[in-house]
Amino acid sequence: MSGGLPILSLMLAVPLVAAVLCIYAGDRNARLIALAATLVDFVLGCVLWAQFDIGGAQWQFTERADLFGRFQWALGIDGMALMLIMLSVFLMPLCILASWDAIKSRVGLYMAMFLIMETIMIGVFCAQDLLLFYIFFEAGLIPMYFIIGIWGGANRIYAAFKFFLYTLLGSVLMLVAMIAMIREAGTTDIPTLLAYNFPPEMQTWLWLAFFASLAVKMPMWPVHTWLPDAHVQAPTAGSMILAGVLLKLGAYGFLRFMMPMFPDASAQLMWIVFALSMVAVVYTSLVALVQNDMKKLIAYSSVAHMAIVTAGLFAFNQQGIEGALIIMLSHGVVSAALFFCVGVIYDRLHTREIDRYGGLAVNMPAYALFFMLFTMASIGLPGTSGFVGEFLSLLGIYEASSVVAFVCTTGIILGAAYMLYLYRRVVFGELTKDDVKAMPDLTAREWTIMAPLAAVALWMGVYPESFLAPMRGDVTTVVARLAPAKPAGDAHLAAAKPKAAKAHEGEAAHGSSHAGGVQ
Amino acid sequence: MTADLALIWPELILTIGGLITLMLGTFAGDRQVGLYQGASLLTLAAAAAAVVALFGVNATVFSGTLSVDGFGGFAKLLIYAASFVCILVAPRFFTGGMRAEYPVLILFAALGMGIMASSRDLMTLYVGLELNSLAAYVLASFMRTDERSSEAGLKYFVLGALASGMLLYGISLLYGFSGTTDFAGIAARMGGEINIGLIFGIVFVLAGLGFKISAVPFHMWTPDVYEGAPTPVTTFFASAPKVAAMALTTRVVIDAMGPAVGAWQQIIIFLALASIILGAVGAIGQKNIKRLLAYSSINNVGFMLIGLAAGTQQGVEGVLTYLLVYVVTTLGAFLVVLQLRDAEGNQVESIPALAGLSQRRPGLAAAMAVFLFSLAGIPPLFGFWPKYLVFEAAVNANLVPLAVAGIVASVIGAFYYIAIIKTMYFDDKSDVEVTGGGNVVEGTIVAVSALWLSVIGYLFIPMLAIASAGAASVLF
């Protein structure tokens, strides 16, 4: 514990208490309470980051209390959890601001749901007990179900049910696996489980059960179909938090549980992840290309980005995993920003149909600028957050398998295609439609939301080290844990050949290419 | 004999208290609600205190026919508490005052249930079960001028009598092939070679008990009776008798048939899976909230049976914890239903009428949402915990496929629970103006149980673990 103050418990308690207050406060007060609580949590998060000892012990700020008998109130963070908690507390006040005017009915309940969501998200990332983690992990369903169902679009009920049942089905399978793990290892303590060697035969089953749950959360193709529906129907802030943080839960689970706890199974079954990721990258990018609903387009792009994350993670090397983590953070910021961009124009025209817009650069220049920045970050232009993540993860993937790297790169090209296509249709062209002409540029409140998002996207692009440094130690630990099981990647295979054969082959290859060149 | 009497204080108190209440009703008249209600509540409280006083005692009385132990004590406390609540909330429902028979019948039913929970002989089992059932048949048709209520009573009686017949047939087979009615004696016989007669006995006894816990395929009466019976009676049916019948089933299975695991485990597994799945699927499409809760109880019994199927002490602990949480949830949910009244003061039972309840009665809707999410077993609500325990017991008993099947089927159940929450929270307000007074007693019980089931319950896990472990250890 740092300084004697249970800062993690405090971060969990602040939004929870505020949520109760929100329900009893009036509409206007509820907004203020929610904003204040989320800002307090953000400040606490900054304190956490500032006091985090990079290169120190893996688990810091640990708290332990034997409240529940069979499992513990055990909290603690490593660098990875720290970054994801930062992402959550950073996005949360922006989400509250984004819903400031957009939500008009039952504001108190709405704010309470968001605050509960915040507690749950922080709880998921800092839980050090398997059951505690599961409780937080699954609890997220309830507020999100209400957020989509009460304040969502016309088809909100279908989307809310689909979201709830899909993710529930996934996570109950994980629960059975957890029970089996607890039985085998005799503990619910995550740090202990991370060092426990499960029998390889058992690992396969556990891995599959966890995969069923986490793949739905990610979401991976083909269990991704709940995501576009949920995004399209959710209110703007709901989409922001869904894309920004909730989609990261799956990848976090891969990194925290599946890979270090079941290294043998991970190595054995990595082809499943690679295969699904490849399909997802190409397929969902193509689907995104033909969307006419902006939110759907960004939702499909999220699936594609997450597929690169999974491929990067299963590259089993430092670059791949670091890259995946940076994509997670970057996507958290950028997709939340993109959903907010959609929300801004949706609030003005009440449609998300791309064809209804055009020429916004003329009357909304500031908007066009921000939107462009986020589009570029999503594509992965150097200098933005997207580039760092994609570059690192592709480097890692290439080392594991050049074929997978090749396919994933295709996805990046397609990504550029759909994002630029979206941007062109919405922002460029002539401003012909009267209702679009009448749309005013960003308000002060919208500026307040856009600016920090843009700043972080650039910061991450220009100096990613500040985000990578806290996580490096954890990534090294995971890589070391995976090392004995790690299959040789094809890049290594070439290097491992006997020198003579390699030289001979190299000559032949050189000769043929040379010959080709002459012709 | 006198020593034996000293160990059955709870039953004696209930018997005498029930008779006194009956006298009060007869001589003071039906109008004196406070008098006979008070007497019956006092009786239950005294009986509960007697159970507490007997904690730690582990003895058999009356030539081994009844057992006074922690397991029975745990079940009895739950039964008395549920009965207490059902008497407490009844006067508001029965407009024009309830009649004295109501608390008297509940007291005698509670007496029968206590005997069920304590029995360790086929004779006392049957006596307790019938004492409870006869009172229940009358309670179901308590509003004799109401067509639905009379029909419910009749249906319950006819089907209940059939189930009793099956049970008796099973009992006679068990007796015939083992030569004793004592659980321990039967268990000793089961330890050896099991012949076809005993197997038939097991099947018929489990069928009879399956009817009492409304496990599929013996559940058919449940939705009709739950719907037709007056709501306080339904509240009672869904809580206390479930505890008694489940405790009895556990005792029979573990105590009497324990050694013949192979013979009963498949039956229990079948009952469990069938109840979970049919309970969940049947609930979809129900328009009446009481019917829906009936299916929900079938579904929940299935989960309890998963714990029982494990056949281990851990499994029984899971069942006991499950019963406790289930009783609190069910009582809460039915009290919410009791509060739903339209402008004329009539009960609202149709689910579509709940539309927009979250705007009309936010507190009530929130409590109901807690109960429903809890019944669905979604964490962080406390209903998750007993589900976790029974699944853990099943996995530890190497019944992994059963655990997986049960847990996957629980998702179907979640569908209809969240469908009601959808009605309350997402739909526009219905035409029915749900008013209903803010009765302090009911409101307090609802609020306390909702709070307990939200996250506070987790703090009680260590306490629950000690209690359920103490109770379950008696059987092993």
Interface of B with A in 432-471 (CB under 8 A): 458-459, 461-462, 465
Strands of B338-476 (E only): list them. none
State which amino acid sits at residue A100. Answer: W
CB–CB of B391 and A146 under 8 A? no
CB–CB of A70 and B461 under 8 A? yes
CB–CB of B465 and A138 under 8 A? no
- What integer pLDDT is reported at residue A456 of this predicted model? 93
**Set of chain B residues whose Cβ sits within 8 Å of the Cβ of A216:** none
Element (H, E) at A64: strand A60-65
**Set of chain A residues whose Cβ sits within 8 Å of the Cβ of B404:** 173, 176
Nearest 10 degrees: Cα torsion B326, B329, B334, B336:
180
CA dihedral sign of residues B21, B25, B28, B30: positive
pLDDT at A504 over 60: no
pLDDT at B96 over 70: no
| A228-242, A324-338, B341-355: the lowest-pLDDT one | B341-355
Q: Tally the C-alpha atoms within 13 A of residue A411's C-alpha that lie toward its C-beta.
A: 30
Token pair recorded at residue A307: 């597929």
| A115-124, A299-308, B424-433: the lowest-pLDDT one | B424-433
Give me the long-range contacts of A429-433 (CB less than 8 A, separation at least 24): A429/A358, A429/A359, A430/A358, A430/A359, A431/A358, A431/A359, A431/A360, A431/A362, A431/A363, A432/A358, A432/A359, A433/A356, A433/A357, A433/A358
Q: What percent of chain B has pLDDT over 90?
A: 53
- Per-residue pLDDT tens over the stretch B273-300: 999 999 888 888 889 999 999 999 999 9
For A63, the 3-state DSSP assignment is strand
CB–CB of B391 and A145 under 8 A? no
| Chain position carrying tokens 């019917």 | B291
Mean pLDDT of the B122-144 span: 91
From residue A87, alpha-carbon distances to A92, A118, A333, B180, B409 in Å are 9, 11, 8, 69, 35
- Per-residue pLDDT tens over the stretch B12-46: 999 999 999 999 888 887 778 888 889 999 999 99
- What integer pLDDT is reported at residue A505 of this predicted model? 52
| Nearest-neighbour CA in chain A from B302: distance (Å) | 17
Q: Is A380 left (phi over 0), alpha (psi -120 to 50) or beta?
A: left
DSSP codes joined into one string, A327-384:
HHHHHHHHHHHHHHHHHHHHHHHS--BGGG---HHHH-HHHHHHHHHHHHHHHT-TTS
Confidence of residue A347 (pLDDT cuts 50, 70, 90): confident
Rg (CA), chain B: 21
Confidence of residue A493 (pLDDT cuts 50, 70, 90): very low
Interface of B with A in 333-372 (CB under 8 A): 358-359
> Chain B residue with minimal CA distance to A123?
B380
Interface of A with B in 117-146 (CB under 8 A): 131, 134-136, 138-139, 141-142, 145-146
- What integer pLDDT is reported at residue A491 of this predicted model? 63
| Nearest-neighbour CA in chain B from A352: distance (Å) | 23
A169 touches chain B (CB under 8 A): yes
Is B186 within 8 Å of B254 (Cβ atoms)? Answer: no
pLDDT at B1 over 70: no
Those residues with Cβ within 8 angstroms of residue A307's Cβ, 6 or more apart along the chain or in another chain: A220, A221, A276, A277, A278, A280, A281, A284, A408, A411
**Set of chain A residues whose Cβ sits within 8 Å of the Cβ of B414:** 164-165, 168
| Nearest-neighbour CA in chain B from A13: distance (Å) | 13
A149 touches chain B (CB under 8 A): yes
> How far apart are the C-alpha atoms of A487 and A404, rounded to whole Å?
15
- Per-residue pLDDT tens over the stretch A448-478: 999 999 999 999 999 999 999 999 888 998 8
| Nearest-neighbour CA in chain A from B462: distance (Å) | 5
> Chain B residue with minimal CA distance to A169?
B411
- What integer pLDDT is reported at residue A512 of this predicted model? 45
Mean pLDDT of the B102-109 span: 94
A110 touches chain B (CB under 8 A): no
CB–CB of A149 and B426 under 8 A? yes
CB–CB of A173 and B407 under 8 A? yes
* Helix, strand, coil tally for chain B in percent (to 5): 75, 5, 20
> How far apart are the C-alpha atoms of B71 and B64, rounded to whole Å?
16
- Per-residue pLDDT tens over the stretch B440-457: 888 899 999 999 998 899
- What integer pLDDT is reported at residue A519 of this predicted model? 35
Rg (CA), chain A: 23
Token pair recorded at residue A479: 């890589």
Q: What percent of chain B has pLDDT over 70?
A: 98
- pTM attached to this predicted model: 0.90
- Per-residue pLDDT tens over the stretch B309-325: 998 999 999 999 999 99
Mean pLDDT of the B393-418 span: 89
Nearest to A379 by CA among A343, A418, A406, A350: A418
Is B312 within 8 Å of B294 (Cβ atoms)? Answer: no
Token pair recorded at residue A451: 């600016």
CB–CB of A176 and B418 under 8 A? no
Mean pLDDT of the A122-132 span: 92
- Strands A73-77 and A60-65 turn out to be antiparallel
pLDDT at A518 over 70: no
First vs last C-alpha separation in chain B: 27
